[in-house]
Structure 1
Amino acid sequence: MRKKLFRFAENAKRENIIEPGKPLFEKIKDNWHQLYFKNERPITVELGCGDGEYSVGLAEVDRDRSYIGVDIKGDRLYQGSTYALENDLDNVAFLRTKIHELDKFFGEGEVDEFWLTFPDPRPRDRDVRRRLTNPRFLNVYQKLCKPNGWFKFKTDSTSLFDYTLEVLENEFHVDDLVYTKDLYNEEELLKDHHGIKTKYEGIWTAKGEKIKYLKFRFK
């Protein structure tokens, strides 16, 4: 608890974490270019970013894009925020909010690309609407993403991956869908990831679990 309280206190001082109580939290919608990044570079949003490993990894690889990691857990955002500050990554920010409130913080067409990495698979049938690839979430992402923007999804869960493919086939039609159930044996698709691995991805792959990946463009 002491560690969490320290992190929350530090987060409150940091400009690269936008959270309740800070002026930008109420003003940032439709204003990421103007009020935070101060440029017109394309914006990539990572949904449920956790410790921010993927967000900062992408930000290091491509300094010509802006990255925003979104998660509700402030003590985890502290990790990504710290790494960004220590490595002078001014092209990455973190937003503390729930995914189902995303449209309060981004305007229509404000996002160029979404990443969803290793979300909770929500395996119980009663939790199907809470899966982050459920049509109710996909409709929100589509609204906030520029036309033809990419959505990229990575998971170790076979059940969630199969569910997502079924949704894309039957309920939410998209363009340019490409997928694999064994990412590390797909050289072309592997290029999308720039060698970035989260801690848990490393654990799962070490155990022989195959990583699933898909990407598509919103119509």
Structure 2
Amino acid sequence: MGKDKLRRFAEVDTFKNVVQMDAGKPFKGNWANEFFKNNNPVVLELACGKGEYTVNLARLFPGKNFIGVDYKGNRIWRGAKTALEDGINNVGFLRIQIENLLDYFAPGEVDEIWITFPDPQPQLSREKKRLTSPRFLAMYKVLLKPGGFVNLKTDNDGLHAYTAEKIDELKLKLHIRTEDLYHSPYADEVLSIKTYYEKKYLQDNKNINYLKFSFE
């Protein structure tokens, strides 16, 4: 492991806005009250990477609490550091495997979920690792409050189509579907937040897909 990664791992362990997996589960069922010290809605970004979407959502919506979830601490470091430097207090980061979400959040504790440019896991043998596979969707259904939304933003046409198929098969409620977000009427200031990778995809003339759905 490089010196820069080691430095980031050491530094992120000191950040007050980061909860590490070895810290136990002190906030399960109480993220708003205990971690953020308020009663505002809790929104998750899964596989948040450097936390660009998490931080920018928090800038737009100071009345909500945003938690970026990822396993790689050296990536979380960037978003967490930006939030601390800019005094954005409605942002937190949780370093865990996403498979373990139900260990860290109580049923109905989450208002909305964002999945932005995840690994599409294109091989059929890795279907269970796709963040919109049935096993993950079952977790989201438990975590979300009634009427809560899941948002998927991806450059991968295969993952987009796969997710749309699962929404149909499981009889979930589809609210928005577009295969070309920036040539659709849905590209508002929220959906126009662009991560580093999305900017690269757009430079390569890739289309950006978007889905919004709920469980009722």
Q: Same fold (TM over 0.5)?
A: yes
Secondary structure, aligned partner of 1:191:
coil
Matched, 1:16 2:17: yes
Deviation digits for residues 77-102 of structure 1 (CA, Å, limit 9, x no counterpart): 00000100111000000000011000
Moved more, 123-132 or 13-22: 13-22
In structure 1, C-alpha distance between the alignment counterparts of 2:178 and 2:45, rounded to whole Å: 20
Who is 1:183 aligned against? 181
In structure 2, C-alpha distance between the alignment counterparts of 1:194 and 1:117, rounded to whole Å: 10
Deviation digits for residues 136-189 of structure 1 (CA, Å, limit 9, x no counterpart): 00010110000110111100000111111111111x2222431000000112x2
Structure-2 change in CA distance of 1:194 and 1:167 (3 Å): closer
- Which of 175, 200, 211 is the matching residue for 1:203? 200
**Divergent runs of 4+, >2 A:** 192-195
Deviation digits for residues 11-62 of structure 1 (CA, Å, limit 9, x no counterpart): 111110000343xx42111110221011111111000000000000100111
In structure 1, C-alpha distance between the alignment counterparts of 2:193 and 2:35, rounded to whole Å: 25
Who is 2:133 aligned against? 134
Conservation of the 8 A alpha-carbon contact between 1:67 and 1:92:
yes
- Root-mean-square deviation (Å): 1.1
Amino acid at match of 1:142: K
Who is 2:73 aligned against? 74
Secondary structure, aligned partner of 2:187:
helix
Amino acid at match of 1:9: A
Who is 2:60 aligned against? 61
Secondary structure, aligned partner of 1:214:
strand
Secondary structure, aligned partner of 2:25:
helix
Conservation of the 8 A alpha-carbon contact between 1:53 and 1:198:
yes
Structure-2 change in CA distance of 1:192 and 1:131 (3 Å): farther
Structure-2 change in CA distance of 1:112 and 1:152 (3 Å): same
For 1:24-43, list aligned pairs within 5 A. Answer: 25-43=24-42
Compute the TM-score of the two structures, normalised by the length of structure 1.
0.95
Secondary structure, aligned partner of 2:39:
coil
Conservation of the 8 A alpha-carbon contact between 1:61 and 1:194:
no
Secondary structure, aligned partner of 1:190:
coil
Who is 2:209 aligned against? 212
Who is 2:160 aligned against? 161
Compute the TM-score of the two structures, normalised by the length of structure 2.
0.96
In structure 1, C-alpha distance between the alignment counterparts of 2:192 and 2:117, rounded to whole Å: 16
Amino acid at match of 1:18: V
Matched, 1:109 2:108: yes
Conservation of the 8 A alpha-carbon contact between 2:180 and 2:207:
yes
- Which of 187, 190, 193 is the matching residue for 1:193? 190
In structure 2, C-alpha distance between the alignment counterparts of 1:87 and 1:68, rounded to whole Å: 16
Amino acid at match of 1:104: D
In structure 2, C-alpha distance between the alignment counterparts of 1:94 and 1:156, rounded to whole Å: 24
In structure 1, C-alpha distance between the alignment counterparts of 2:174 and 2:120, rounded to whole Å: 24
Deviation at 1:194, TM superposition (A): 5.2
Deviation at 1:192, TM superposition (A): 5.9
